[in-house]
Structure 1
């Protein structure tokens, strides 16, 4: 549908999409060109990928990761998908996420690797959270980062791409600044360098695009996405910072780009390459301690489950 009779800023045909941050209006075709160029610019600006390089895309079934997968393929990269199924206590959301990921793989004619968190870890996320007296989101995030990195390397990929966009990164930056999380601020960058056999290179090619722009792109492309939000996200703080970013952007278009890109410019460069010298004595993955956080989580969970079994088997 044409917006108030307005014309596309690029081709002058009827416009379906308004991008206040760029003072631009696009038709479906030109929006696609704009989105691909922004992703390509981010890839070149931050040295994310080489021409035609092989990359694994973490695919959740949402608009951002599905759009990223399509964009990377359109830009000529060898992009395969990885869907890591999580136990979220809501079968319908998990099933919808898996179905959307599988539909996209079929549409793109690209391989999709399917993994299950409970099978990889040996326990459900909720069991691990209870055993370690941690919040579900905290445990889920730790396990997900660990498994995505490990699976990426196991599958023979050197690069892992995620669908984090400009709003995500700006909200995370705002939260880290407000809470003065210096460690997280030091590592915040659109690219985290890898180390052979230890860390996959992590990239965020959508870091120049706002969530609303990606949503418009996905809709214009007819991409079928999973509806709803994570049912376990109640109590998470990031959405509050996301709301603050959106409010500022609505009142002052362009603020999000200036805030995030300005921070990166002042920072001057990425964090140093990680040192994989120290390894976990249990799983062999890089760790600052003798036993990594994930292996400690799993050991505590195994001990709790063993105690529960013993209590059930013991006579009254």
Structure 2
């Protein structure tokens, strides 16, 4: 009896250890993440980091890196991953040895990286606006001219943003320089002004992207509409992804499909190949991690309203997990299977 009891106890103890290790298969592994410099990507990064921590990995504070620097750094192995890859728009920023040393894994949001021009729905309907070309019409220009310079005012991108170059290209190739005035002040302040104008019943015309708080505040199809560019005329950087500049099924577009004039990107995790080869649990978590675009937009809106501290973002993560328990636990379960 004593021997049997001892054997049983040892077996149970062994099973308990195996079970505990299985619950934390990443135990003993330190992970070095990176993070994009734009705060609309912070929420996704924080959720992925939390998932790895629950799987037992020790995850360091993320390094905030500009895109080209990140891709060089992850190829070198100095960081292990980030959650902020936009493809194919980031393809031009990849180092020559990227495909050999790093990998795109899973889809945080497939076709989630929309960019384009939106106009208040009421005024789309009032003036029959379908594309940027309609801003050459005198009655349209007059309605959207806030500073009385004879041009329609467009809330555009601040200097140095990638979208600034594309908007300048559009003004040139579509002959819009005498008809549209791109406002390049602080985007957040300019959009706050546009939203206030919309709430007063005034026409608004702006550039935005998704995920972003703007299309949570001003919902496409209800408040605003995506409009077309006159025709697809890509920049040199866009020329390899022309097929991704026209989108079908976009909610709140004036046409289906709609020619956005910007490349629609998949938001993806990018990881060092050696890291994911050594850590299949992390790779599997990256593969199954997917977020609704609406959830990111909602969280981004909370940040735009002042909830943007580290503690705020951690709280947003906790609240999202609490509201999506089955999904979250399903991801963790799938990841743990990779350890078996």
Shorter-chain TM band: under 0.3
**Which structure has the larger Rg?**
2
Higher relative contact order, chain-length normalized (CA < 8 Å, sep 6+): 2
Give the TM-score taking structure 1 as reference length: 0.26
Give the TM-score taking structure 2 as reference length: 0.25
